[in-house]
Amino acid sequence: MDIRHIIPGCDGGQEVLIKVSGSGFLEDSFLSHSENFKRTLLSVYDGVYMTDRERRIVFWNPACERITGYTAGEVLGRKCSDDILNHVDMNGNSLCDSSLCPLHQSMEKGVPGESPVVVRARRSDGTRVAAEVSVAPLFGDDGVVIGGVEVFRDITEKQKLAEIKSRFLSGVTHELKNPLTIMQGFIELVLSGDTGEINQLQREFLDSALEEGDRFKRILDDLLDFARYEATEYSFVLRDVDLSSLLLQVAGSCSAEASRKQLAVSASIPGGILVFGDGHRLHQAFANLMSNALKYTEKGTVDIAAGISDSRAVVVVRDTGIGIPVEEQERIFDQFYRVDNYLSLNVGGAGIGLSIVKKIIERHGGSVSVRSQPGAGSEFTVTLPLKA
Ligand code: ADP
């Protein structure tokens, strides 16, 4: 049997023919017409393997052998879930169930995976290796999916570096927060009058010092959020998520801040919007967009609306706040970037929230964009692939 396959990413997709025997197992000359392509697959640094429709391995390159310790002879013809790769997520939950397996999902849908998935794959010695995997289906001559291909990259070193960076950041922020809290405690004590009378001017100065301390704390909290995100960047847990309920929860959790600022919050969210993702991370992303909308709006409304368009979930967070100048709109998603305006200065922050939102949404195969007019308000639009 011949497999016609479009290799994603090769100059817009290169079509190749792969020879597979009738039973779905690899023939000797699996790429008889393309020696170059065969050599490339055999020599690339990333692990590449192919399976038939039942997830039995039909091709296994030397990089797979280097990363997992299994030789081609040991794995060809066996299922990848048979104690070979046996992917689990970063929390140890099995991904081999067909509803969770990225490769199976890709074969079912007949399209490449939306974004790489981080897994822990089993090695021949029983240990596990952290790997970022990308998947795509393989098509037969008649256009029917007859197998799948998975490319996996060992991310052990990348992960270690992220952990060191995150430990350093959270250590530093904790160390800075403790003396700050003590200083604020002393200021409050003086303000309370317990240490003697203070005049009006002294009270105003001390109040300002307290406010500056709060602003500093918000920056440290942002840095802590960032450190936490970096530490767990590789542990997304993907499940079916009821996006409608999640968004209603996010909208509800904003009511206290909204009434403190006398802003009206409205939510227009139909039931039944389901996506496949990490509910905790998605909550974090939408809570951040809502919190920004409240932070950068002094009067008017903050709305969150959801719907389905072109087979994607679409969520819009809209406010009537200070808006963002056109030339800044691209950059606000960069790490540590803040627009230079009086509200940004007053509320405090480290310019991290939107960069995390972008990372989370893109990790789900989605997109986030902004439209805004200074003085009139901003509109952030998120799209996410629906559950298959
Ligand atoms: P932070 O709010 O901590 O500064 P973010 O990454 O969340 O960090 O946002 C980056 C910048 O984008 C903010 O400093 C602010 O200037 C601008 N911004 C974000 N959301 C809004 C909004 N809804 N309205 C106006 N400006 C916004």
DSSP string for 107-134: HHHTS--SS-EEEEEEPTTS-EEEEEEE
| Alpha carbon distance 242, 203 (integer Å) | 50
Q: Give the residue from 154, 171, 187 where a domain finishes.
A: 154
pLDDT of residue 9: 38
| Alpha carbon distance 263, 52 (integer Å) | 57
| Alpha carbon distance 139, 150 (integer Å) | 14
9 and 143 in one domain?
Answer: yes
Query: Could you report the per-residue pLDDT of 69-123, keeping only the tens digit for each?
Result: 999 999 999 988 887 888 887 777 788 877 778 899 899 989 998 778 888 889 9
pLDDT of residue 10: 38
Give the mean pLDDT of the chain.
Answer: 86
Structural domain tally of the chain?
A: 3
* Percent of the chain's residues with pLDDT above 70: 90
CATH of the domain at 314: 3.30.565.10
Query: Could you report the per-residue pLDDT of 295-318, keeping only the tens digit for each?
Result: 999 999 999 999 999 989 999 999
Residues 6 or more apart whose CB falls under 8 angstroms from that of 40 comprise none
pLDDT band, very low/low/confident/very high, at 254 (cuts 50, 70, 90):
very high
Using alpha carbons only, give the angle 43, 44, 50 rounded to the nearest 5 degrees: 95
244 and 175 in one domain?
Answer: no
Query: What average pLDDT does the segment 356-383 reach?
Result: 94
185 and 105 in one domain?
Answer: no
Q: Where are the alpha helices (DSSP H) in 253-308?
A: 255-260, 279-295
- Looking from the CA of residue 323, the nearest atom of ligand 1 is 25
Burial 38-62 (b: 16+ CB within 10 A, else e): beebeeeebbbbbbbbebbbbbbbb
| Alpha carbon distance 164, 230 (integer Å) | 10
CATH of the domain at 73: 3.30.450.20
* Percent of the chain's residues with pLDDT above 90: 55
Range with the lowest mean pLDDT among 24-38, 39-53, 92-106, 263-277?
24-38
Domain containing 72 equals 2-154
pLDDT of residue 268: 97
pLDDT band, very low/low/confident/very high, at 4 (cuts 50, 70, 90):
low
Bridge partners (DSSP) of residue 240 are: 276
Task: Output the pTM of the full model.
Answer: 0.70
pLDDT band, very low/low/confident/very high, at 45 (cuts 50, 70, 90):
very high
Q: Give the residue from 212, 235, 258 where a domain finishes.
A: 235
Query: Could you report the per-residue pLDDT of 186-205, keeping only the tens digit for each?
Result: 999 999 999 999 999 999 99
Element (H, E) at 265: strand 264-268
188 and 138 in one domain?
Answer: no
| Total Cβ atoms within 10 A of residue 118 | 20
Instruction: Note whether 98 and 113 are within 8 A (CB).
Output: no
What residues flank ligand 1, with Cβ below 6 Å? 222, 292-293, 296, 319, 321-324, 332, 338-339, 344, 349-355, 378
Tokens found for residue 31: 């790429």
pLDDT of residue 368: 97
pLDDT of residue 7: 45
Amino acid at 134: S
Query: What average pLDDT does the segment 252-266 reach?
Result: 93
Instruction: Note whether 90 and 231 are within 8 A (CB).
Output: no
137 and 102 in one domain?
Answer: yes
> Based on the number of CB atoms within 10 Å of its own CB, is 68 exposed (0-12), middle (13-18) or buried (19 or more)?
buried
227 and 271 in one domain?
Answer: no
The alpha carbon of 289 and the centre of ligand 1 are apart by a number of angstroms equal to 9
In this predicted structure, the answer to whether residue 345 has a pLDDT above a threshold of 80 is no
Q: Give the residue from 123, 154, 185 where a domain finishes.
A: 154
165 and 74 in one domain?
Answer: no
Pocket residue to mutate for ligand 1, from 222, 346, 354, 359, most atoms within 8 A of Cβ? 354
CATH of the domain at 216: 1.10.287.130
pLDDT of residue 342: 74
pLDDT of residue 50: 93
Query: What average pLDDT does the segment 137-146 reach?
Result: 91
The alpha carbon of 209 and the centre of ligand 1 are apart by a number of angstroms equal to 24
Pocket residue to mutate for ligand 1, from 319, 332, 355, most atoms within 8 A of Cβ? 332
Bridge partners (DSSP) of residue 7 are: 14
pLDDT band, very low/low/confident/very high, at 34 (cuts 50, 70, 90):
low
